[in-house]
Structures are given as C-alpha cells and as structure tokens.
C-alpha cells in the first residue's frame, strides 16, 4: 500500500511532505516523489529507492512552495523505477496526481487516450488518471476529477494538483484510505494517521466514493455524484506506534484484519466475466497449457502450505498432476523436472534463497517458471517466465497471514485459468467457482467475527504444552498452516497430521488434557474425521472443532468447542478456515507475552540457505 501526503498552508511544503512520508515508511515502498506548486507551475522531484535518495535530490534542486503532495510507492503495475515513481503529470505538466490502489481498466483507458494524442511517460496505471483529468479539464478541477473517476474502475485514493488552481488540492477515496488533518490556516492529507500526528490530532476520514477539496481553511467533502457531505472531525488519541498499526496492538493482528481487502485486491481485475479468468503477467499460451504434463509447486514454510492446497486445486480443476515440494529439498533431489513442466514458485517476499534456487533448478531442467509473489520486482518475480502477483500489500509481521490467503486465491485463479485453457473445466463449474471467489472477501469478514470466541479459547489454553492439528483432504494442509502459526509465535510445541494417520502412531501421544484442533470443512471425509475425533476424545483429549456452517451440525456433538466459518465452496474453504487458526495463534502468543511481530530466532525473509 502506497503512502500519500498532501499539505496546503503557510509552511514550506517539502519538509512537511518528507516528514509525513517518513512516518509511513513502515508500510513498505520502492520509490518516492513530491510535487510542489511553484509560481503558477508545478515542480516534481521523484526517484526509485528510499526517501533518503529523494531528499538528496530535493536538496540538490530545492522546491519552494506552500502547497504540495508526496508519495511513497508500493508497486503494483510497472517495476520500481524513476519514471514509474509518483507523482505523474499530464501532457503539459499542469495537472499532477499521486495514487494508492489499482485502476483495473487502465489499459483500455490508456489505449483510448494515446489514440487521442496523449503522450505517456510511464507504464503505471496511475498516469492514466492525470491524462483523463487533462482530457476533460475545462477550468473546474473538482468536476474534471469527478469525470475521470467516473471512467476509471478499481480501488484507489487519488490526490490531484492543478497549476491553474493553485489554492486547492483535490482528493478522492475509492476503497484505499484517505484522511484529512485540520489545522489553523493549514490542512493536511494522508493515507494513514501516523503522518499527521506531529501536526494535528483533528482528522476527518474520507469515506468511499467521496471527494474532498482541501484549502487552507479546511476541507469540503462531497459524494462523487455531487451531494455535499457534512462530517465532524474526530480527535485521534493514539500514540504514533499504535497509529502505525492502525490502532491494533500488533502488525500481525492488523494484517489478519486486512485479509478481506487483500483478497479483494488480489481478485481485482482478474474476474472480468462469469466463466473466465484474466491473469495479468501470465503469458502461458493455451497450446502450451494443453501440452503441460506436470506442475511443480516450490516454496518454503507458509508458502509451501499454500502449495499443498494449490495441488488439489490444480488436480481438481486443471486435471494436471501437481507436486508440491519444499524448495530446500527440491534443489538437492535431482528432480525429474522437464520441458513440459510448469514450476510455480510461491513466495511473499520473492527473496527466499531456497525458493529462488529451486526455481532456477527447475528452469535449468527445461521447465517454465511462474512466480506467485507479493513484492513487485522481487528477484523471484524478475527471473520467472510468468508472474502472478498477490496484492496483499506490505506484510510487516514475520508471521505470514494476508499474503498466504492471497497466495491461495492466486493458486485458485491459476487452476481455473489452466482448467479453462486445457478444456477440462466446464463453463458452469467455472462460473460456480468464480461466484465463490467473489464472495470470499465478505466471507473472510464474517470469519473475523469469530475473534471473540477465539479469544475465549485462547484464554483457556494459554498454558498448554502440546497442541495437535488434524484434518483430512484439503483440511490437512490447513492443519499444517495452523500448526506453524501456533508454534512460530506462541512457542508452544505443535504438530499437524493427516487425521487418518493418528492410529499409525501419534495416538500414543494423546493423553488427558491434550488439545486437538480438528478441521472439518470437507463433506466427503466428514464421517471419517468424526470417528478420528471420537478416537482422541476417548483418550481424554479436549477437541476444538473448526467447521463451516454447513458441516457444523454434524461436528457439533463431538467437540468441546465449535468454531464455524461461512460455507465457502469446499475447494475454497481453506481460505476461510485458516482465519480462526491465525487468530488463535495470535491471541495465545499475546497472552503469553511474546513478541508477536518479531518472534525469536525468525526473520521475515530468509535470504540465506
Ligand atoms: C510464515 O509465517 C513464516 N514466517 C515463514 O514460514 C515464511 O512463510 C517462509 O519463510 C517463506 O517466506 P516467503 O513467502 O517470503 O518465501
């Protein structure tokens, strides 16, 4: 998620903009820039890299002015580079924009604008907005911005300067956050509260579909359709640290709660119709897809667990053999990877040494490589033949949550896409799954509502010594992910197993008081799972059941605690069932006083073997 800053008042704008952007650095970014109103023109300084580089550039070529906007970019379209950094200008440099989010239909808009003579300098979706406003500008900036927003589709926060209207800044919110800070004779804009705290605690949150015209005397807010909106300012009482976490105690909890949005943004623009998928960045041709004989899924840790789910999606929807393998194992096993194989490397950071090496090994043996990565321009993404970006935004906590959910959805999109290309997935089945994908953000929000119940469970088991996670079918990889979450931040020993394996050894460890988390979202194996639950309960285990509202009635009588997530299609249930497990791991770790965001011995990205 990009950082946005705006200022209009009596101070020199640049120091205010840079200071605000520095307070948003925790959000992660790859380039930065500022634009300042300067004597009837707009001066821009921008560059790839960190704010320190931008500050050097500005020091060498100072900007004078009391009205300006600033931006730190987390790339979604267009690699990190000087020309792709924001702000972006129209053809004449008279209209300058910064933007946070995604313009879904930017390619079509850009083609039309180019056909009408507009000259583009970058390959970002954002620049389209500057030219759209220029195209309809007739001396009324708010009106021109409204017309541009009517043409653009997607999720965004947009901030606009116009050299012909130097006494205002115009901003629009369409999903991505935007906040006004109010002062005496000065007004601020920011994408998040921490940037405003040194200047003001009086803020107005701009809501979706609203425009704000910012002047020295404050902000006038209206619906994009025109109706004025009256909204009282609110007083922020958070300190800066809490503000960075959006009021949550830890980044991990904030990112768990950002998951509905991460799903929404990862799906955005990729479900254009009812039966097919549009995968930007994946150039695999239909005939190559039909010729594929195998898919490898290479990853580490949580990303590997996503790969385990991906296998079942690919085999079920694309009818192609799929083999997940730990990247650290794949590279040393003389793998039988070959020319008609697709190696899917999954990685949040795109910098995990083992995963990069495994992808290189697969490519060296003739396989085509496809990266599922969360960081645009990361090593894995740059080296792969195809890239399918998860758009979860920066993931700060070491413990991966929202990126994992976005990986699952990316794998579902890939399986759908390959199934349709290979002619093995019918339109009706594809349509049903696409409806299920579209419902996921809302279902994820409903799953988050289980948090109060999960906290009760966490308080009861906070001193536990051993936890077992069991599941069958698609619930088994989710059990593995739940176990990893639990041990990596609560420091409590935990293990996951295929429920059918209990009687082959692990049952010897089930004694009175042991906690067993039983996942039961898959109807076709529900009866077998229930009998596994009876086996462990007969030996004194306390069983926490995790079902969907569809499987809950059958599971309820057999468990001590029942948690039920919304009834997603069984193939998509892993996207939802993991949410209560993330929350359980988080709250047990919190109650045990652990450093949740930076668990001992672990790093966010393991860039060494
Ligand atoms: C997840 O909670 C862990 N922090 C870890 O397993 C992580 O998933 C693994 O290191 C892979 O990282 P990547 O996705 O950046 O490649």
- For 531-545, give the secondary structure using H, E and C: HHHHHHHCCCCEEEE
How far, in Å, is the centroid of ligand 1 from the Cα of 499? 25
For residue 352, the ligand 1 atom closest to its alpha carbon is 16
How far, in Å, is the centroid of ligand 1 from the Cα of 573? 21
Q: Is 297:311 a contact under the CB 8 Å cutoff?
A: yes
Angle CA 116–141–31, to nearest 5: 75
In the block, tokens 């399986």 appear at 415
Taking the C-alpha atoms of residue 109 and residue 128, their distance in angstroms, rounded to an integer, is: 7
Q: Is 404:303 a contact under the CB 8 Å cutoff?
A: yes
Around ligand 1, the residues with Cβ closer than 6 Å are 300-303, 347-349, 352, 355, 398-400, 488, 605-606
Closest-CA residue, ligand 1 atom 6, reads 301
**Beta strands 169-174 and 179-182, pairing class:** unpaired
Residue pLDDT, tens place only, 1-27: 678 999 999 999 999 999 999 988 876
Query: Which among 28, 250, 302 is the best mutation to test ligand 1's pocket, defined by most ligand atoms within 8 Å of the CB?
Result: 302
How far, in Å, is the centroid of ligand 1 from the Cα of 262? 17
Angle CA 206–208–213, to nearest 5: 45
Q: Which of 351, 288, 327, 373 is nearest to 76 (CA)?
A: 373
Radius of gyration of the chain (CA): 25
How far, in Å, is the centroid of ligand 1 from the Cα of 577? 19
For residue 484, the ligand 1 atom closest to its alpha carbon is 2
pTM given for the model: 0.81
Farthest CA pair distance, the chain = 81
Closest-CA residue, ligand 1 atom 9, reads 301
How far, in Å, is the centroid of ligand 1 from the Cα of 335? 23
How far, in Å, is the centroid of ligand 1 from the Cα of 339? 28
Query: Which among 298, 606, 608 is the best mutation to test ligand 1's pocket, defined by most ligand atoms within 8 Å of the CB?
Result: 606
Taking the C-alpha atoms of residue 353 and residue 485, their distance in angstroms, rounded to an integer, is: 21
How far, in Å, is the centroid of ligand 1 from the Cα of 604? 7
Taking the C-alpha atoms of residue 4 and residue 200, their distance in angstroms, rounded to an integer, is: 16
List the alpha helices (DSSP H) in 365-516.
Answer: 379-383, 402-421, 427-448, 451-461, 475-490
What's the gap between Cα 364 and its chain centre? 31
What is the mean pLDDT of each successive set of 10 residues along the chain, which is 609 residues long? 91 97 83 94 95 96 97 82 94 96 91 97 94 96 96 92 97 90 97 90 92 97 91 83 82 96 94 91 92 98 98 98 98 95 96 94 97 89 94 90 98 97 96 96 97 97 95 98 97 96 95 95 96 95 96 96 93 97 98 92 77
Burial per residue of 281-315, b for 16 or more beta-carbon CB atoms within 10 angstroms, e otherwise: ebebeeeebeebebbbbbbbbbbbbbbbbbbbbbe
Query: Which among 28, 252, 299, 301 is the best mutation to test ligand 1's pocket, defined by most ligand atoms within 8 Å of the CB?
Result: 301
CA distances for 296 relative to 20, 343, 365, 423, 574, angstroms:
44, 5, 12, 20, 20
- Cα torsion through 143, 67, 135, 179, rounded to 10: -50
Closest-CA residue, ligand 1 atom 16, reads 347
Residues in the chain: 609
Query: Which among 352, 376, 388, 487 is the best mutation to test ligand 1's pocket, defined by most ligand atoms within 8 Å of the CB?
Result: 352
Closest-CA residue, ligand 1 atom 10, reads 301
CA distances for 211 relative to 42, 144, 149, 185, 515, angstroms:
22, 12, 10, 21, 52
Q: For 602, phi and psi rounded to 5 degrees? A: -110, 155
- DSSP H/E element including 112: helix 106-115
Taking the C-alpha atoms of residue 378 and residue 363, their distance in angstroms, rounded to an integer, is: 17
Got the DSSP string for 322-367? Answer: EEEEEHHHHTTS-----TTEEEEEEESSS--HHHHHHHHHHHHTT-
Residue pLDDT, tens place only, 63-77: 999 999 999 988 777
Taking the C-alpha atoms of residue 554 and residue 566, their distance in angstroms, rounded to an integer, is: 15
Taking the C-alpha atoms of residue 516 and residue 466, their distance in angstroms, rounded to an integer, is: 9
For residue 400, the ligand 1 atom closest to its alpha carbon is 2
Closest-CA residue, ligand 1 atom 4, reads 399
CA distances for 537 relative to 96, 510, 526, 546, angstroms:
65, 9, 16, 15
For residue 488, the ligand 1 atom closest to its alpha carbon is 2
Sheet with strand 515-520: strands edge to edge: 493-498, 466-471, 515-520, 542-548, 561-565
How far, in Å, is the centroid of ligand 1 from the Cα of 605? 7
pLDDT number for residue 375: 86
- % pLDDT > 90, the chain: 84
Residues with a catalytic annotation lie at 2, 604
pLDDT number for residue 176: 79
Taking the C-alpha atoms of residue 410 and residue 427, their distance in angstroms, rounded to an integer, is: 19
Q: Is 579:546 a contact under the CB 8 Å cutoff?
A: no
């Amino acid at each position: 998620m990009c950082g946005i800053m705006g200022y209009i008042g009596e101070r020199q704008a640049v120091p205010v903009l840079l200071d605000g952007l520095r307070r948003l650095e925790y959000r992660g970014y790859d380039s930065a820039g500022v634009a300042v109103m300067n004597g009837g023109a707009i001066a821009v300084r921008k560059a790839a890299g960190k704010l320190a580089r931008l500050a050097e550039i500005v020091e060498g070529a100072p900007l004078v002015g009391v009205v300006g906007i600033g931006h730190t970019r987390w790339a979604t379209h267009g690699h990190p580079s000087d020309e792709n950094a924001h702000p972006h200008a129209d053809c004449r440099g008279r209209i300058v924009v910064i933007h946070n989010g995604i313009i879904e239909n930017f390619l079509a808009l850009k083609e039309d604008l180019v056909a009408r003579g507009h000259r583009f300098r970058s390959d970002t979706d954002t620049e389209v907005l500057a030219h759209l406003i220029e195209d309809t500008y007739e001396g009324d900036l708010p009106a021109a911005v409204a017309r541009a927003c009517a043409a653009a589709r997607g999720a965004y926060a947009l901030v606009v300067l116009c050299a012909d209207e130097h006494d205002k800044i115009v901003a629009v919110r369409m999903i991505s956050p935007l906040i006004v800070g109010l002062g005496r004779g000065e007004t601020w804009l920011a994408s998040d509260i921490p940037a405003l705290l040194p200047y003001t605690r009086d803020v107005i949150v701009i809501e979706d579909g609203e425009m704000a015209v910012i002047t020295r005397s404050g902000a006038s807010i209206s619906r994009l359709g025109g109706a004025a909106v009256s909204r009282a300012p609110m007083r922020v009482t958070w300190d800066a640290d809490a503000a960075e976490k959006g009021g949550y105690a830890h980044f991990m909890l904030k990112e768990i709660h950002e998951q509905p949005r991460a799903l929404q943004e990862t799906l955005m623009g990729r479900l254009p119709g009812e039966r097919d998928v549009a995968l930007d960045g994946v150039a695999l041709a239909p005939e190559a897809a039909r010729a594929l004989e195998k898919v490898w899924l290479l990853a580490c840790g949580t990303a590997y667990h996503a790969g385990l789910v991906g296998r079942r999606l690919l085999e079920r929807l694309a009818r192609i053999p799929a083999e997940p393998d730990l990247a650290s194992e794949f590279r040393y096993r003389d793998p039988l990877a070959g020319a008609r194989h697709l190696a899917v490397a999954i990685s949040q950071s795109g910098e995990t040494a083992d995963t990069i090496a495994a992808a290189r090994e697969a490519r060296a043996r003739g396989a085509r490589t496809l990266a599922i990565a969360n960081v645009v321009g990361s090593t894995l993404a740059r080296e792969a033949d195809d890239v399918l970006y998860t758009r979860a935004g920066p993931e700060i906590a070491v413990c991966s949550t929202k990126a994992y959910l976005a990986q699952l959805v990316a794998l579902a999109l890939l399986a759908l896409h390959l199934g349709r290309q290979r002619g093995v997935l019918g339109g009706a089945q594809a349509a049903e799954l696409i409806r299920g994908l579209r419902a996921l953000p809302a279902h994820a929000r409903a799953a988050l509502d289980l948090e109060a119940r999960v906290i009760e469970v966490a308080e009861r088991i906070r001193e536990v010594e051993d936890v077992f996670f069991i599941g069958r079918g698609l619930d088994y990889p989710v059990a593995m992910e739940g176990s990893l979450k639990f041990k990596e931040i609560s420091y409590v020993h935990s293990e996951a197993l295929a429920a059918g394996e209990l009687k082959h050894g692990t049952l010897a460890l089930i004694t009175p008081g042991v906690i067993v988390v039983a996942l039961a979202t898959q109807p076709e194996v529900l009866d077998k799972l229930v009998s596994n639950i009876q086996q462990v309960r007969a030996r004194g285990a306390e069983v926490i059941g995790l079902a969907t509202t569809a499987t809950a009635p059958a599971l309820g009588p057999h468990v001590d605690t029942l948690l039920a997530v919304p009834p997603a299609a069984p193939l998509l249930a892993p996207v939802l069932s993991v949410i209560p497990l993330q929350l359980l791991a988080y709250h047990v770790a919190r109650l045990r006083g652990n450093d949740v965001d930076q668990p001992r011995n672990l790093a966010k990205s393991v860039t060494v073997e």
